Amino acid sequence: MQIFSARDIKEGMSSPEQANSTDAAKRRAAVWAASQVEDGMKVGLGTGSTSALVIEEVGRRVAEGLRITAIATSEASQKQALGLKIPISDFAHLPQLDLTIDGADEVQEGTLYLIKGHGGALLREKIVAIASTKLIIAVDPRKLVKTLGQVFTLPVEIVPFGFETTMRRLKDLGFDCELRVNDDGKPFVTDGQHYIAHCKLPQVGFDAKLAAEKLKATVGVVEHGLFLGMASKVVIGGPEGIQVLEAAEPENWSEVE
């Protein structure tokens, strides 16, 4: 069986200059997204490098007097939020959230369809997103793609017991899958105590909605990283400022300084 290393996700081909540009783009997107949080809101806090910048900015605003209550999509994000004194709650006390801000691995132009989960928190991310009235996705320009799966594989969270048979079923559906492992070769374990299979998506004739249905119907699959029709807005940081893509008018880009 092929294996997928956590290191493979982090490694890239960016030069130091490109890395600095990307970091600046992420921060612009994060700052704008965090500015959408209003006093009294119940907020979902995402997972990943851009989401960490969002949490940092929300924490700064909380220190200045912003009053919110939040639910984090991962243990790492919750730890960061608590360190910044952002009030954290749970779904027993906050059954519905006003806004969730998260990142994405890929954003398909025109549809706002997303691939999420390379941070290893897709199940919690989807639970929080589904419970939110609005979902804002903050990314840098590299995350925009014309076809899902163009750059990233699709993470699929699976039950550890019998994972070998689950992955065979995924392959029978036409997905070429690899198990995600840590640097020591042991399976990566999510906060929900599951494994992740990374699936390659076909670049011709791929139907995201049909794929989502097939994945959800597969025994052993807990959740998949296709987030379809869920994003309210996607904010993309750039060299000059940001761009915001609205779900209601997917082809309409608005410039914001």
Catalytic residues: 125
The residue type at 93: H
As a whole number of Å, the end-to-end CA separation of the chain is 49
Return the SS3 of 130: helix
Phi and psi, residue 183, nearest 5°: -60, -25
Cβ contact 166:224 at 8 Å: no
CA 116 remoteness from chain centre: 4
Cβ contact 166:218 at 8 Å: yes
Return the SS3 of 61: helix
HSE-CB at 162 with a 13 A cutoff on CA atoms is 9
